[in-house]
Amino acid sequence: MKAAIYIRVSTDMQAEDGFSIEGQRTRLESFIQSQDWSVHDYYIDEGKSAKDLNRPEMQRMLQDMEAKQFEVIVVYKLDRLTRSVADLHGLLKRFDQFGVKFKSSTEVFETTTAMGRFFITLVGAMAEWERETISERVRFGVEQMIIEGRRPGGVIPYGYTQSEELIPEEAALIRYARDLYMGGLGYKGIAMKLNREGKLRRGQEWTSATAAYTLENPYYAGILRLGSKTPDGNYVNGNRDRRVKCLYGDGSHEPIFTRVEYEQLKEFMERKSHGGFSRVQTYWFSGVLRCGRCGAAMFGRMTTARSTTNGKVRTPYYICSNKHSNKSCDMPTFRQVHVEHLVMEYISKIKWDMKTAGEIAAGMEQEVADKQDEAAEARREINRIAERREKWQYMFVEGLIGKDAIRKKIAEEDAAEEAARKKLASVKNSLSVMPDTAVLEDLQTLWKHMDDEEKKTMVYEVFEKIVLNTPETNVKGVKNKFFNADIEEIKFN
C-alpha cells in the first residue's frame, strides 16, 4: 500500500524533540516499514499553523489524493493534520470520497468504523479547544498590557527608537505630512511631495500606503490600539476604524500630536471619505499652490450651492490657509478657472516662441547635464556609504573592531550619508527650475481632454510650486471676468 507522509511543524514546535521535521520523518518511516507499506511522497509544511488548511504541502497532498496516487495518509499525531473540528470532518469526508485511509502512528485512530470516527472527532474537538484557549489567554495578556499603557511588542512606528524615544527630525516630518494633508493634499500627493523634496522615510521613498498608515496611526497621539481585523475577518490597510474588538489605552511614550489634533485629523479624513469633499479630485492645484503674500499653502474649497437654470451649482476656489485659519493674510480667494487661466497663460509665454525656447534649452543643456552628473554621484556616494557601514558591522561581529570604534565609524557614516542626501536634494531642487518644453506642450494639448483626477495627477507630476499674487485685496466677482493677478513663481519637477 502506498502511503503519503504528512509532516507539519509550527515555529514554536520546531525544536521540540519528536516534533521536529527529522523527528517526525524517522518515526513515520519506521511505522510504515512495520506495516509493510511503501512511501509514495513526503508532504512537509514547515512553520505553518494548523488553524486552517491553507498550507502549500497540504493542498499538494490533497491534489495527489484526488489523482489517486496513494491509498493511506500517515501522520505522527492527529494535531499535525489539523486542530479544527470542521476541517477534520471535511478531510475525513474527502478521504472517504477517494478511498483513502488515515492513520496516526502514535494514536489508536482509524477511519473505517463509526467508533473510530467518533474518537477522532473528539480528539479534534479537544485540539481546537486547546488552540482557542491559548488564543484567549494570549489576547487577555495583551489586553492587560494595553490597559497598563505598555506596548505589546511589534515594530515601533516611524518617528521613534526601539526604546520608544521620540526622534525629533522624524517627528517634524510627520507633523509636516499632517499639515500637507490638512491643507488638501491626498496620500499620493503627500508621498510625491516629500520624495521630491528629498524628505525620505529612513532612506526609503514615501508611498501613498506609508503616508496613509502614518497619518491614521493613533500611536502618534499617545494612544495604543489593539485590533486588526474587520467584521468579515480580513486584515485592513485603509478604513482602520472598521476594525472590531478594538481596545485603546494611554501609552507612556511622548506623543507627536495632541489628542485634539488627532481627532481633528480623523474628522477631516471622515469628511473626505463621506462628503464635503470631492471623491474625483476636484481641486486640481491643491498641494502646489502658494500664496504670494505670506507664502502659506492655498487649498481648495467649494462655494455655497447656488440655483441656476441647470440646477444647483458649486464652484471650486482656493483660499490662503493663513487667511482661513487666523485671518492673518488678506489675499483674496481665486476661482479654479482663474488659476487654470493663469497657469495656461504662463505656459504659453514659456513656449510661445518655440525657436527661442529651443535656443534657451540648448543653452541650458550643459548645465542640466552637469546637475544630473552631480545627482548620480550623490546616489553613488550613498550606496558606497551603505557598503562601508556593512563592512564596519561585519568587522565588529568578527571581533576586528571594538564597540567604541564602531560607534565612531557608524556616526561618521551617518553624517556622510546625511550630507550626500542633502546634496542630492539640493541638485534636484536646482533642476526643478528648468522646464521641459515638451512636457508643457503635452500638458497644454491634453488638458482639455483630461478628467479631474488626471488633471490633478498631471499637476503633481509637472509642478512643485505655483505662487499666485495680485495687487487686489477686496475683489468683487464679475461673471466671465478675472481680476488682475499673475503667477509670481513656478517651480517645475
On whether both 202 and 220 belong to a single domain, the answer is yes
CB 331 within 8 A of CB 314: no
The pairing of beta strand 463-469 with beta strand 486-492: antiparallel
119 in the same domain as 95:
yes
Taking residues 86-93, report their average pLDDT: 78
Are 285 and 316 contacting, i.e. CB atoms less than 8 angstroms apart? no
Q: When comparing pLDDT for 54 and 113, which is higher?
A: 54
Domain-ending residue, one of 256, 275, 294: 275
Find cell 503635452 and name the residue: 442
Same domain, 239 and 299: no
Lowest-confidence segment of 132-146, 311-325, 451-465 by average pLDDT:
132-146
93 and 56, same structural domain? yes
Q: What is the pLDDT of residues 151-196, one digit of tens each?
A: 766 678 899 998 889 999 999 999 999 888 887 777 887 888 888 8
Lowest mean pLDDT segment, chosen from 144-148, 240-244, 328-332, 484-488 = 240-244
Domain assignment present for 144: no
- Which of 9-13, 195-199, 442-446 has the largest mean confidence? 195-199
What CA–CA distance (Å, rounded) separates 385 from 420?
9
Residue 43 is predicted with a pLDDT of: 95
DSSP-assigned letter for residue 222: T
User: How far is the CA of 61 from the CAs of 1, 11, 35, 117, in angstroms?
Assistant: 16, 21, 21, 21
pLDDT at residue 279 in the model: 42
Number of domains the chain contains: 3
- Mean pLDDT score of the chain: 78
Q: Which three cell numbers stand for residue 376?
A: 548620480
272 pLDDT tier (thresholds 50, 70, 90): low
Is the pLDDT at 437 greater than 50? The verdict is: yes
Strand partners, 311: 308
User: Do residues 223 and 235 both lie within one domain?
Assistant: yes
Contact of 343 with 306, CB cutoff 8 Å: no
pLDDT of residue 318: 92
Output the CA–CA distances (angstroms, integers) from residue 55 to 20, 37, 364, in the order listed. 17, 26, 60
Distance CA 468, CA 435 (A): 18
Burial of 198 (0-12, 13-18, 19+ CB in 10 A): middle
Q: Which of 10, 20, 208, 426 is catalytic?
A: 10
- Residue 68: predicted pLDDT: 93
In a domain? residue 356: yes
Q: How far is it, in rounded angstroms, from Cα 355 to Cα 377?
A: 33
Taking residues 219-248, report their average pLDDT: 61
Q: Look at residues 275, 296, 331 and tell me which one is the last residue of a structural domain.
A: 275
pLDDT band at 364 (very low <50, low <70, confident <90, very high): low
∠ Cα 298 459 470 (to 5°) = 40
Alpha-carbon gap, residue 460 to 439, rounded angstroms: 13
Full strand arrangement of the beta sheet holding 298-302: 298-302, 316-320, 334-335
230, 259: one domain: yes
Contact status, residue 7 vs residue 45, Cβ threshold 8 Å: yes
Question: Can you say whether residue 450 is alpha, beta or left, with left for phi > 0 and alpha for psi between -120 and 50 degrees?
Answer: beta
Enter the C-alpha cell of residue 457: 495627477
Place 466 in a pLDDT band, splitting at 50, 70 and 90.
very high
We report the CATH number of the domain holding residue 233 as 3.90.1750.20
What is each CA distance from 352 to 27, 337, 344, 429, 493, in whole angstroms? 84, 21, 11, 25, 21
230 in a structural domain = yes
More confident residue, 378 or 112: 378
DSSP structure string for 425-468: HHHHHHHTTS--HHHHHHHHHHGGG--HHHHHHHHHHHEEEEEE
* pLDDT tens readout for residues 380-433: 887 788 888 788 877 777 777 787 887 888 888 888 887 877 776 666 555 544
3-state secondary structure of 298: strand
15: confidence class by pLDDT, cuts 50, 70, 90: very low
C-alpha cell at 282: 476636484
Same domain, 62 and 179: no
Position 443 in a domain: yes
428 and 463 housed in the same domain: yes
- 373 domain-assigned: no
Q: 312 pLDDT exceeds 90?
A: no
Q: Is 225 helix (H, G, I), strand (E, B) or coil?
A: strand
Final residue before a domain boundary, out of 275, 297, 320? 275
Q: Are residues 248 and 128 in the same domain?
A: no
Let me know if residue 68 belongs to a domain: yes
Going by pLDDT thresholds of 50, 70 and 90, the confidence category of residue 276 is: very low
Whether 105 is catalytic = no
Judgement on whether residues 211 and 307 belong to the same structural domain of the protein:
no
Same domain, 323 and 441: yes
Q: Looking at the predicted structure, is the pLDDT value of residue 463 above 70?
A: yes
Of residues 29 and 233, more confidence is placed in: 29
At 326 the pLDDT is 82
Percentage of the chain beyond pLDDT 90 is 17
Instruction: Name the residue among 273, 316, 307, 293 with its Cα closest to residue 456.
Output: 316
Q: Give the Cβ contact number of residue 81 at 10 Å.
A: 24
Residue 387 CA, distance from chain mean position: 27
CA terminus-to-terminus distance, the chain: 70
Asked whether residue 322 falls in the same domain as residue 270, the answer is no
Q: For residue 191, what are the domain limits?
A: 163-275
> Is residue 231 assigned to a domain?
yes
- 332: which residues sit within 8 A by CB, 6+ positions away? 470, 472, 473, 474, 475, 483
pLDDT tens digits for range 99-137? 898 888 887 666 656 666 677 667 667 666 766 777 677
Q: Kindly state whether residue 399 falls inside one of the protein's structural domains.
A: no
**Helix (H) or strand (E) run with residue 271 in it:** helix 259-273
